Amino acid sequence: MAAMQAKLTGRERVSRMFERRDQDRIPHHDSFWGETIARWKSEGLDGDGQAVLRLLDSDFQGLCWSSPVPFPGRREIVREDDRTQVIRDAWGATLRYWKGRSGTPEHFSFECDSRRVWENRFKPVMLANPVQIDLDRVEKAYAAGRQEGKWCYLAGLESFEAMRRLMGDEIMLVAMASEPEWVRDVSRTYTDLVLRDLEAAMARGVKPDGFWIYGDMAYNHGTLCSPAMYRDLVWPDHQRMAEWGHQRGMKVIFHTDGDVNGVVDLYLQAGFDCLQPLEAKAHMDVRQLAPRYGNRLALFGNIDVMVMGSNDRARIEHEVLTKLAAGMRGHGYAYHSDHSVPPTVSWSTYRFIIELVNDHGRYA
């Protein structure tokens, strides 16, 4: 392909990535733990996470986040001590969190623990709730994104992750085997609610470039349910979300952590255009994925945060350069860490990563 002479806008760059057309450089984006930004401020960062994204020259602009909950605004402290709080949250879950630090909460209980409770209490409440996104904010974010030339996207939670938050892993996974019709009903209902929210956003006159679907349906050795069970119970709603986006002219990004090597073909059949963030410690590797899927599926991420956190520049350089080279070969790759960047990564290390991406992520 001929070298690009002019710098593209973020919108142009990401669109060309999806089309496998020539670009000046790969698209950029990333995400960070709160503790990471706090550390970086102590090491010289002037600003917040948005300041880091500006330095990275991120190409993406989010417009909204749809994750409908049964009890909007609920956050009741059940008990606490010096280090933790037990919270009853907007999903009807009771969870224990660390104070002042991130981490997966400890699961105590879930009110939505049976089909009867779902049908009699949770489903009616969720269907009666109004749209749960700030529509004025959508318009403002869209105007800012268009002015800055960003690739603008809607974002929403998919039903597998929603069921994990609503029912907990144990109840949900048992129900997938013993009460599949209940699971189908929750999945369909939740998908309906997300799409209702996003239709309300579209009604404000925004014309997004993409639909970024979020959910974690795997751990570090495979999906939390079998591929066959996923295909039967949840995949139809993933397909429905992808079709909704495509019908409105959007490309569809699917986010999931974990080892999803065994269901990538199902993602393609559902209609996903891009897979993110490709968790390296869960055996996802762009160097293996790109030759097999790169002409059909854009690949977004995969830079190992465990390697980043070593702060070993030789290891980091090898990680970044080999994965950029593999992803860029087909012009369908964007930079992102393989997870949110943790506070083990120093500010000087992350600036070094930005330099590597800038220097080696160019097509011209």
Domain ranges across the chain = 10-67+135-360
pLDDT band at 1 (very low <50, low <70, confident <90, very high): very low
The pLDDT assigned to 5 comes to 57
SS3 23: coil
Q: How many CB atoms lie within 10 A of CB 318?
A: 12
Between CA 162 and CA 152 the distance in angstroms is 24
The residue whose two tokens read 């790169």 is 294
Considering only residues 105 and 101, tell me which one the structure prediction assigns the higher pLDDT.
105
Averaged pLDDT, 312-336: 98
Three-state helix/strand/coil letters over 95-122: EEEECCCCCCCEEEEECCCCHHHHHHHH
Q: What is the CA radius of gyration of the chain?
A: 21
Tokens describing residue 234: 């949840």
Tell me yes or no: is domain 10-67+135-360 CATH 3.90.226.10. no
4: confidence class by pLDDT, cuts 50, 70, 90: low
Distance, in Å, from the CA atom of 253 to the CA atom of 242, rounded to the nearest integer, reads 9
Q: What confidence score (pLDDT) does residue 325 get?
A: 98
Strand partners, 245: none
**What's the CA gap between 251 and 207, in Å, rounded?**
12
Mean pLDDT of 272-298: 98
pLDDT in tens, 47-81: 999 999 999 999 999 999 999 999 999 999 999 99
| Angle 223-228-229 from CA coordinates, rounded to 5° | 70
Token pair recorded at residue 184 = 């189908």
pTM: predicted TM-score of the whole model, two decimal places: 0.97
- Phi and psi torsions of 277, nearest 5°: -105, 5
251 beta partners: 210
CA separation for the pair 194, 199 (Å, rounded): 9
**Residue 242 backbone phi and psi in degrees, to 5:** -65, -45
All residues at 6 or more sequence positions from 229 whose CB lies less than 8 Å from its CB, including other chains: 176, 177
- The least confident of 101-110, 124-133, 353-362 is 101-110
